Homo-oligomer: A and B are copies of this chain.
Amino acid sequence: MYTSIPVPRKDFSGGKSGVPLLSDDRLFPADATTRSIARQLYASVKDLPIVSPHGHTDPRWFADNANFPDPAQLIVVPDHYIFRMLFSQGVALERLGVPRVDGGAVETDPRAIWRLFAEHYHLFRATPSRLWLDHTFETLFGLDVPLSASTADLYYDAIDARLKQDDYRPRALYERFNIEVIATTEGALDDLRWHAQLKQSGWKGRVVTTYRPDSVIDPDFEGFRDNIRVLGEITGCDTGTWQGYLEAHRLRRAFFRDHGATATDHGHPSADTANLSADAAAKLYQIVTSRDATPDEARLFRAQMLTEMAKMSVEDGMVMQIHAGSRRNHSADIFARFGRDKGFDIPGRTDYVQALKPLLDAVGLEPNLTVILFTLDETVYSRELAPLAGVYPCLRLGPAWWFFDSPAGMRRFRELTTETAGFYNTVGFNDDTRAFPSIPARHDVARRVDCAYLADLVVEGQLRDDEAAELAHDLAYRLAKRAYRL
C-alpha cells in the first residue's frame, strides 16, 4: 500500500484543531470577478429545496425511521465508490466488511473498518467522493479536522454519537436536508410496502417510487424466467403470452403510479431499440421465455422492450429514463465471490444515433412523451446526444452520471451539450445515490459547478446577469420538477 512510503506528511491542521474542511468558495473560478459573480448566483440558489428525482435510497428508512447503525455501515460498507478505490490499492473487500456470497467471514467490527478507511483517505484526493465526504463530515457531523489514521477514532466516536440521536433519524435528516421530494427505485416485482406504510403514516415528507423493470425485461438477468412467472402471479395476467406480458407491465406501472411514481427507469448495456411487428415481437417473447436466449435474442428483446415502454409512456404519461452503457460485473471472480454492484461495472463505447432510431421513428414526435437519456460514454455528449435532444421534442439529457458525477465531469457535460441543445433540453441534477447523508453535498456540488459555468458565460459576454440568475434557479430546481413531472 502506498501509505508505507516514508513521507514526512505535513499535516495542515495538525490533526487537532478547528480548521474548516470546506472552503466557502470551493469549485468557484479563480478569477476574482468571475468568482464574485459565481458567489452571487450560488447565494441565490443554495437554500432552494432539494428535488431528487432519481436515486437509490431505501424507502424503509423513511417508513421505519430507525436510527442508522454505525459509521462504517452508513458510510463505508455500502458505497462502491469507496471500497473500489481501496481495493484498487490492494485492500481486500473482506477487510472492509463487504459481505460474501457464500456467507464467509468478513470484518464485522465497524471501528476496524472505519480505521482502515481513514488510513487510506488520501487516495480520494481530488475525487468527488472526497468532496461529498468532507461536506458530510463538516456540515452533518460537525468535524473540523481532516480525516486520517490519526483522527480515525475521533471521527468514529463523533459520528457514532450523532447517529444515536433522534435528530439523526431518516425523517429528521430528510427535513434537515430541505428535501422537497425524493424518488426511490424499485424493481417491477416489489410490493412497495414501505411506500404504502409511508403513505399511511401521516408524515409530510414526499417519497415516491420509480418503476424499474430490468429483472423482467432483460433475458440475461438472474432468474429472468422465474421473474416473468412471478409477474404473472402478482398481476393476474397470463405472462405466457406477449399480450398478457404487456398488460402485466401496464398494471404494474399503474400500481407504481399509485405509490407516487412519475417515472420509469431502464438500465441497459446499450441504448439499442427495436420496433418489431406485433407478430415478430410475440415470437421473440416465446423464445426468450422458453429457453436461454442467445446474446442477439436477448439484445433484441431488450431493444424491443424499450420501445414498448416508450409506447406505454405515451399512454400513461410516465417519464422514461434510459441509463445505458455499463458493462456489469467485469471481474468474473469478484462477481462469483461478492455478487453485483461491487465496483466492477465498467463503461464502454455506446452508440445512440442508430440505436434510438427505431424508438424515435415510432414515438419520437409524440407531444406527451419525455425520454431522459444518460450515458457513460462522454464522447456522445456533443456528437450524438446534444444533436438528438436539440431537435426531438421527446428527448431530454440527464446530468453527468456515475463516474462523471464530478465537478470536472459536470463541467464537460455543460460545455459539450449547451452549444447545441441549450439548457432547456436538460433536466437539472440527479444525485442517483444510496448514500443518504451525501445528498446535500451532491446537490451543493452541482449548484456550485453550474453557477461557476454561468459566471464564466457572463464574464465572456455570452449571458446577461439576469439570464444567469434565472438559469441558476432553473438548473437547481425548476428543470428537475418540470422534466420529471413532480
Interface residues of A (CB under 8 A from B): 2, 5, 7, 9-12, 22-23, 25-31, 33-34, 84-85, 87-90, 122-128, 130-131, 146, 327, 330-334, 343-344, 346-349, 351, 353-354, 357, 360-361, 364-365, 367, 376-379, 382-384, 386-393, 395, 403-404, 406-409, 415-416, 418-425, 456-457, 459-467, 469-471, 473, 478, 482
Most B CB contacts (10 A, CB to CB) among A85, A357, A420 go to A420
Task: For residue A138, give the distance in angstroms from its CB to the closest CB of chain B.
Answer: 12
From B12, B333, B383, A467 is in contact (CB under 8 Å) with B12
CB neighbours of A390 from chain B (8 A): 84-85, 88, 343
Known: A30-B456, A88-B389, A470-B7. A126 touches B346 (CB 8 A): no
Inter-chain CA distance A406–B421, complex, in Å, is: 12
Please tell me if the beta carbons of B457 and A348 are within 8 angstroms of each other in the complex.
no
Tell me if B30 and A424 are in contact (CB < 8 A): no
Minimum CB distance partner of A84 in chain B: B391
Give the CA-CA distance A392 to B346 in the complex, in Å. Answer: 11
Minimal beta-carbon separation of A44 from chain B (angstroms): 11
CA A467 to CA B126, docked complex, whole Å: 10
Residue of B nearest to A348 (CB): B353
Whether B126 contacts A9 by the Cβ 8 Å rule is: no
B422 with A85: CB separation less than 8 A: yes
Hey, which chain B residues are within 8 Å of A382, CB to CB?
378, 403-404, 409
Is B348 a contact partner of A383 (Cβ separation < 8 A)?
Answer: yes
Residues in B with CB closer than 8 Å to A343 are: 390-391
CB <8 Å contact, A28 and B88: no
Complex CA–CA separation, A87 to B346 (angstroms)? 35
Selected from B125, B360, B389, the residue in CB contact (under 8 A) with A471 is B125
CB distance from A467 to the nearest CB of B (A): 6
Given A126-B418, A348-B351, A360-B331, A26:B387 Cβ within 8 A: no
Q: What's the nearest-Cβ distance from chain B to residue A142, in Å?
A: 19
**Contacting pair B87 A473 (CB below 8 A):** no
Complex contact A28–B460 (CB within 8 A) = yes
**Which of A9, A327, A403 has the most chain B CB atoms closer than 10 A to its own CB?**
A403
Residues of B within 8 A of A12 (CB): 464-467
Q: Which residues of chain B are near A333, meaning CB under 8 Å?
A: 361, 364-365
Bound state CA distance, A21 and B162, in angstroms?
54
Q: Which 6 A-B pairs have the closest CB atoms?
A: A26-B461, A23-B461, A406-B419, A30-B31, A12-B466, A84-B391
Extra inter-chain contacts (20) besides given A127-B418, A387-B403, CB under 8 Å: A2-B424, A12-B467, A22-B461, A26-B461, A28-B460, A30-B460, A88-B392, A88-B395, A88-B421, A90-B367, A123-B422, A124-B422, A125-B462, A127-B422, A327-B354, A333-B361, A344-B391, A349-B383, A407-B462, A408-B419
Q: Chain B residues near A85: list those with CB within 8 A.
A: 390-391, 422
**How many protomers of this protein does the assembly include?**
3
Question: Which residues of B are found within 8 Å of A128, using beta-carbon distances?
Answer: 419
Say yes or no: A5 contacts B88, CB within 8 Å.
no
Can you give 18 contacting A-B residue pairs, CB < 8 Å?
A: A2-B482, A10-B469, A12-B465, A30-B459, A88-B392, A88-B393, A89-B424, A122-B467, A126-B463, A127-B418, A127-B419, A331-B365, A347-B353, A348-B351, A349-B383, A404-B419, A407-B462, A408-B419
Q: Which residue of B lies closest to A408 (CB)?
A: B415
Q: Is the CB of B392 within 8 A of A420?
A: no
Asked if residues B470 and A10 are in contact (CB atoms below 8 Å), the reply is yes
A264 to chain B, nearest CB (A): 21
Query: A327: which B residues are within 8 A, CB to CB?
Result: 353-354
Contact A422 B125 (CB under 8 A): yes
Q: List B contacts of A423 (CB < 8 A).
A: 125-126
| Contact between chains at A393 and B90 (CB < 8 Å) | yes
Complex CA gap A389/B343 in Å reads 11
A486 → B minimal CB distance (Å) = 13
- Which residue of B is nearest A416, CB measured? B408
CA distance A346 to B361 in the complex (A): 14
- Complex: chain B residue closest to A130, CB-CB: B462
Distance from A1 Cβ to chain B, minimum over Cβ atoms (Å): 9
Q: Decide: A27 and B418 in contact? CB cutoff 8 A.
A: no
Question: A30 vs B424: C-alpha distance in the bound complex, in angstroms?
Answer: 26
A89 to chain B: which residues have CB within 8 Å? 393, 424-425
Residues of B within 8 A of A353 (CB): 327, 330, 346-348
